[in-house]
Structures are given as C-alpha cells and as structure tokens.
Amino acid sequence: PEGVRTQRLLTVVKARAIQQVKTEPTDKVNTWPHLMLAEFSALLAVTGVLVILSIILQAPLLDPANFNATPNPSKAPWYFLGLQELLSYFDPQIAGVTVPTIVGLIGFMAIPYVDRNPSTRPSDRKFAIMLYTLFMAGSATLTIVGVLFRGLGFNFAYPWNDGVFFDDIKDWVSFE
C-alpha cells in the first residue's frame, strides 16, 4: 500500500529489565561512629599522657614579662627561629620578605606544575620528595642553629663550650 512504511522487528525484548542492577559489596566504613570513635579515643589518650607528663615534670611558669629587662639573647619562639636565623645572614628585605614570598608562595604553588607525575606512589615521585626534603632540611638546619648555636647577643656560640641559652627552661631541665 502506498504511504505505509513497514518496519522490521530486530529483537524481542522480554518483560523484565534489560540491565540487571546488582549491588556489589563495598569495603566502606561510615565515618560516624567508626572513625570518630577512634579519633576521639586517640585524643583522650594523648591528652591524658600530656596531663600526666605535666604533673610529673612540674614545669614552672616564668615571671610576667618585664619590658625593662630584655633577656639576653632575645630569641623568637622555636617556630620562628629559622626566620630569625635567616635575618642574621641577610638584609631584612631579602630574608623577611623576598625569600618567604619566593619559597612560600611562588615555590610551593609551582610544585604541582613542575612535578606533573600523576602517580601517588612515593617511589615514583622522586622530584617532589627531593624538593620537600630540601625545604625541610634547610628549615631544620636554620632552626637548630638558632636554638643551639646562638648565645649572648645572638652571637654564634658552641653549646658544648658556652652552654645552651634558654632562659625559660634552665630551671627545670638539666643538660649534664
């Protein structure tokens, strides 16, 4: 007949679904309560150890700060001693602004673009590990020199000859 299109039947589909959805067991554990209980237990254990250590050591508090009597040497807290040590070698503009900006901002932001390795295995990430190791070694060296090898007037001093200059811990820690 004219104007009638005939169509062919390619297959017969049964009444059930074409794709069967089967859920496969997964190795997932919910964050609550499993992970949170473990982390909270670790928090309580570390807090308990710190409380017991503070009771045993009886670390004294110092007198209130006297602005008329600055301790010699006047040192920054340990986490800034690397920067203070860097300031003793370079101009403040270089050590306090340029180096932290280049290393901290530009350098660390450039690492993902320089190290394009998609692998997550440490044995495949030698360049990234080398950069991190160099940064940590430099920071640790500057901090250790600032802590142990700086004496009166922030001059270089050997701790085995002149002693370690910590005004805040000399009363309750013995280095002999």
Q: pLDDT tens, 143-154? A: 888 888 888 888
The gap from C-alpha 133 to its chain's centroid, in whole angstroms, comes to 13
3-class SS at 100? helix
Which amino acid is residue 130, in one-letter code?
M
| Dihedral sign from CA coordinates of 81, 82, 87, 88 | positive
What does the pLDDT read at residue 15? Answer: 61
d(CA 71, CA 175): 20
Give 172's pLDDT tier (boundaries 50, 70, 90). very low
Tokens 């001093």 correspond to: 157
The gap from C-alpha 16 to its chain's centroid, in whole angstroms, comes to 56
CA distances from 12 to 7, 15, 17, 21 (A): 14, 10, 13, 21
Q: Is the pLDDT confidence value at 58 over 80? A: no
Looking at per-residue confidence, does 75 or 3 come out higher? 75
State the pTM of this model: 0.58
